[in-house]
Amino acid sequence: MLLSDTLTPAGHGQLGKMISPLSLSPSFSSRPLRYAVLGAGFAGLSVTWHLLKKSPKEKEMRIDIYDEVGIGGGASGISGGLLHPYSPKAKLLWRGAECWKESLMLLNVAEAAAGLSGVVDSDDSFIVRRRGILRPAVNTKNLNVLTDNAQNCDASCRIETIDEDIAQKLLPNIHVPFNSAFYMPEAVNVHPLRYLQALFLACQDVVNESSTSSHGQKELYLLKKSVQSLLELEGEYDAVIICLGAKADMLPELSGRLPLRTCRGVIAHLQLPANIREEYPDHAPSILSDAWLAVQGSRSLYMGSTWEWKSRNSNPNVSWMKLQELFKSFCQRYLPFIQP
């Protein structure tokens, strides 16, 4: 969300006009552009990279990223990292194909900045695990909806309808209710924190390149600071871009004015102990259902679920009982060979 004003920087206790920062009034054209990006999650760092990359090369620019925790301090840093362009009903999301392409490009940017080629992704340092995602249906109604929508999938992220035999070739012994599952071979699994740290590195690389070129200098600062009100930034910036995730609604200037659809999620990191020899097969996909299993390595898995729509509860404490329940019902349904 971009707040900006043609004549004055964001603030004045009201929302500025939403305009492109590059169409600011000529009075700003002689001094470096100053942007504040609030939040260093998926949204904030993507915006930062695009500001640095897409602004005119000759333009001097300074970007201050504010985050009260640091990179990946909110939902992004603890997410499952399952990435595909579809809704839970397998419908292509709004501008899904475009966003999918853009997301893959950003993943490549992050991998390049971290010195990873994207070809080797099975060791413990991967940013993107490219093994696809398997979505079993949860009931017959869901099965019919998924079957219909899968037929209209985007060619860049296909959805194949497969039966249990084929599913078991992907993940031996998996149980697929209704003998039907939906496989997205191009969908990926991201290691969220590594990705965000690498994307920040990519942003720093752009800044460093600018310092050795004859073009306009770019500056980038990450400030570990909580912003309680946009008034705190008044007079300092040409534009303030708000990427605070679910917490955007807590700014007094925006409270109750955003059509946010919030929900609460839980996630558990499961690590196989050294004395267990079996591993999650290296070629096997992640699993996405009402709960999900995001594979982070052959001995390291994230299991989670996002639910409680409209929740405003951001308490990080989750009861062990709740996690056990989740783990048990997921395994009973899809992975009966695991005894939780």
> If binding is defined by CB under 6 A, does position 39 make contact with ligand FAD?
yes
Q: Closest CB to ligand FAD among 24 and 182?
A: 182
Q: Closest CB to ligand FAD among 24 and 326?
A: 326
- Binds ligand FAD (CB under 6 A): choice among 68, 160, 205, 290: 68
- Binds ligand FAD (CB under 6 A): choice among 67, 111, 186, 238: 67
> If binding is defined by CB under 6 A, does position 48 make contact with ligand FAD?
no
Is 60:32 a contact under the CB 8 Å cutoff? yes
Site for ligand FAD in 214-233 (CB under 6 A): 226-227
* CA diameter of the chain: 68
- Binds ligand FAD (CB under 6 A): choice among 2, 37, 82, 106: 82
Is 304:291 a contact under the CB 8 Å cutoff? yes
> If binding is defined by CB under 6 A, does position 11 make contact with ligand FAD?
no
Question: Which token pair is 192?
Answer: 């969220």
Alpha carbons 149 and 329: distance in angstroms, whole number = 26
> If binding is defined by CB under 6 A, does position 106 make contact with ligand FAD?
no
Q: Closest CB to ligand FAD among 142 and 306?
A: 306
Bridge partners (DSSP) listed for residue 267: 304
- Binds ligand FAD (CB under 6 A): choice among 2, 43, 174, 187: 43
> In angstroms, what is the minimal distance from the CB of 133 to ligand FAD?
10
**Where do the H-state alpha helices sit in the chain?**
42-54, 96-113, 140-150, 164-170, 192-211, 320-334
Site for ligand FAD in 306-335 (CB under 6 A): 306
Alpha carbons 165 and 13: distance in angstroms, whole number = 61
Strands (E) located in 5-60: 33-38
Q: Are strands 286-288 and 133-136 parallel, antiparallel or unpaired?
A: parallel
Q: Closest CB to ligand FAD among 24 and 251?
A: 251
Q: Closest CB to ligand FAD among 9 and 96?
A: 96
Which residue, 124, 115, 120, 101, is CA-closest to 186? 101
Helix orientation angle between 96-113 and 42-54, rounded to the nearest 10 degrees: 80
> In angstroms, what is the minimal distance from the CB of 106 to ligand FAD?
13
> In angstroms, what is the minimal distance from the CB of 150 to ligand FAD?
19
Alpha carbons 216 and 129: distance in angstroms, whole number = 37
> If binding is defined by CB under 6 A, does position 80 make contact with ligand FAD?
yes
Is 283:295 a contact under the CB 8 Å cutoff? no
Interface contacts to ligand FAD, rule CB under 6 A: 38-44, 66-69, 73-76, 78-83, 226-227, 243-245, 247, 265-267, 294, 304, 306
